[in-house]
Amino acid sequence: MTTAQRPTLEAVARRAGVSRATVSRVVNGSTTVAEPIRAAVHQAVAELGYVPNLAARSLVTQRTDSIALIMPEAATRVFSDDQVFPGIIRGVSQELEAADKQLVLMLAGSPAGRDRVERYTTGRHVDGVLFASLHGADPLPARLARLGIPVVSSGRGLGDSPVPYVDVDHVGGVTRAVRYLIENGRRRIATIAGPQDMVAGIERLTGYRDTVAAAGLPELVAYGDFTRESGAAAMRTLLTEHPDLDAVFAASDLMAHAALRTLREAGRRVPADVAVIGFDDIETAAYTEPPLTTVRQPILELGRAGTRQVLRIAAGETVEPALILPTELVLRASA
């Protein structure tokens, strides 16, 4: 029994009536070949079922047609019930699919993971890198950028960095949320703040502090890390230290979900006794009891916009150093 041979460049050239070199240029994306000839080659490729040798193509074009999405988080966090991560991944995937590129997802939540990411990206196995969920003044994005690798951060990192970033209006979103509580008569407004080694956590706390200070109200702060568990613990702390609180802004929807449950267990009615507002507008926010008022950030667009920026840099274009996406207060029954 014989096995059918795979179509070759020579076979495509014969079918299209052109040289082998012309077929190679067309397959490798050259724009120097006339459109009618490119069309004839593509038709021959489709008719014969020719599949390009990706390794050889990469050597010719110096492109891999793949983009790395790097998340400095543990796998247990990325693949948890926090819908922000899958939202960003989905946005990146959609944009890359439209551009006919591949996604390489890499986690860098451990020293070994960071070493692996650095080896892989500096080895030019991808055409560009999008970082998401940066903690602290992470030096890796800037280090890759200095090596000439197209790098964008989805979410601004701490410190001064030459890496362009896409983020959302954290402060503006929180300001609208806390002002809404004040305008509706709340005067003991607490917050469950996010981690202070991330810009999202810092800026959401800044928005809260500036707004209550402008209204002459006290700061009532407990800290979490954007997870349900930390939200429940912070809510218990707030109830112990400030039993007369009448509103809570939680810096993530997962922490707000936990706050709702903790308040219910403590016999507090929402919103009659305590109003609650979250941040993110993840899918389950509309299905809590009561449905959660929250600040909507465009999670899908955050991934898509960051990916577009990486692709533009990889194509030799100049991008703006900062792209800020708007946030929106979504009113539901919890506040």
69 vs 64: CA distance, rounded Å:
14
| φ/ψ of residue 103, rounded to 5 | -100, 130
Within a domain: 215: yes
Residues 70 and 104 in one domain: yes
Flag whether 30 is in a domain: yes
Does 310 or 112 have the greater pLDDT score?
Answer: 310
Question: Is there a domain that residue 254 lies in?
Answer: yes
44 shares its domain with 149: no
CA distance 276 to 331: 11
Shared domain for 162 and 193, answered yes or no, is no
Please check the confidence at residue 23 and state whether its pLDDT lies above 50.
Answer: yes
Domain shared by 196 and 286, yes or no:
yes
Write out the residue range of the structural domain in which residue 277 sits. Answer: 170-296
Where is mean pLDDT largest: 29-33, 96-100, 211-215? 211-215
Q: How many domains does the chain have?
A: 3
pLDDT at residue 105, as a whole number? 93
**Quick one: how far is CA 308 from the chain centroid?**
13
- 223: β partners: 193
Confidence of residue 2 (pLDDT cuts 50, 70, 90): very low
End residue of a domain, out of 17, 36, 61: 61
- 83-133 pLDDT per residue, tens: 888 899 999 999 999 988 999 999 888 888 888 888 999 888 899 999 987
Q: Quick one: 73 and 158 in the same domain?
A: yes
The CA distance from 252 to 173, in Å, is: 12
Q: Are residues 160 and 93 in the same domain?
A: yes
Do both 322 and 177 map to the same domain? no
Whether residue 1 lies inside any domain: the answer is no
| Single pTM value for the model | 0.79
pLDDT at 59: 47
Q: Domain with 36 in it: what CATH number?
A: 1.10.260.40
Residue 332 lies in a domain: no
For residues 286 and 155, give the distance between their C-alpha atoms in angstroms, rounded to a whole number.
25
Q: Are residues 202 and 246 in the same domain?
A: yes
List of residues 6+ apart from 239 with CB closer than 8 A: 245, 262, 263, 266, 268
In terms of domains, do 243 and 312 share one?
no
Residue 132 included in any domain: yes
Q: Both 283 and 174 in a single domain?
A: yes
Both tokens assigned to 80: 């948890």
Looking at per-residue confidence, does 99 or 52 come out higher?
99
Mean local confidence (pLDDT), 193-216: 96
**Residue 3 within a domain:** no
Do 162 and 176 reside in the same domain of the chain?
A: no
Say which CATH number the domain at 177 has: 3.40.50.2300
The pLDDT tens digits for 232-268 are 999 999 999 999 999 999 999 999 999 999 999 999 9
Residue 21 in this model has a pLDDT that exceeds 90: no
Confidence band of 28 (pLDDT split at 50, 70, 90)? low
Q: Does a structural domain hold residue 231?
A: yes
Residue 160 pLDDT exceeds 90: no
Q: Is the distance from CB of 81 to CB of 254 less than 8 angstroms?
A: yes
Cis peptide before 290 (omega within 30 of 0): yes
